Chain A
């Protein structure tokens, strides 16, 4: 059983389109992070959200933490081929009794020119 479920699992779009990736859980997390992983590399941290309802922007990427701190979304505006990669959400599981960073199932994004 995965604590963090991401949807969609795979997304293939054209350059310039908008998209949203979701990260959902039945558990409350004290903080949640989003990572991007490119082929042959390790995950790279994009953002950390801490407060329920918090919205953070990173250029064309907008991250939102749910009010109840159980879910998060990542919205990409005008996607570029360079956005291609595996997007992972990860939650600080200490509030759920886990002393570890719990990763989601991942969303694989392909942006074609």
Chain B
């Protein structure tokens, strides 16, 4: 158990719909990262928040958005869903704001299937 909690574990939704994925970081961790893992693209970095502020942006689509709340939990919002958005979405957390010297802990992921 990494200490990072993600909900829901699985969800199936139709194209055009909107879903919200939730992440609670490890106790004491200020950074939250979101990753998308698909068979053809591998593990792709989406976005990072540090202590409530956006820290780094990766390959996140405009249809996707995220935020980190004062209690440090984070939500990833996916809208106007397409079949190609089907993937495993991981949340990860770390104490610091960068990767150097920080261990990043991954949650178990949220499986999204768009039908």
Contacts and interface: CB of A to CB of B under 8 A. Distances in A.
A102 interface: yes
Contacts of A43: 43, 90, 106
16 contacts: A2-B42, A41-B106, A41-B108, A42-B2, A42-B4, A42-B90, A42-B108, A42-B109, A43-B106, A92-B100, A94-B99, A99-B55, A99-B56, A103-B44, A103-B45, A104-B42
Contacts of B35: 103
Main secondary structure of the interface of A (DSSP, over half): loop
A89 to B, nearest CB: 11
A100 B31 CA distance: 12
Contact of A100 (B48, B106, B108, B109): B48
Contacts of A40: 108
Interface residues of A, number: 21
Interface string B48-79: 10000001101000000000000000000000
Interface in A10-49: 30-31, 40-45, 48
A101 interface: yes
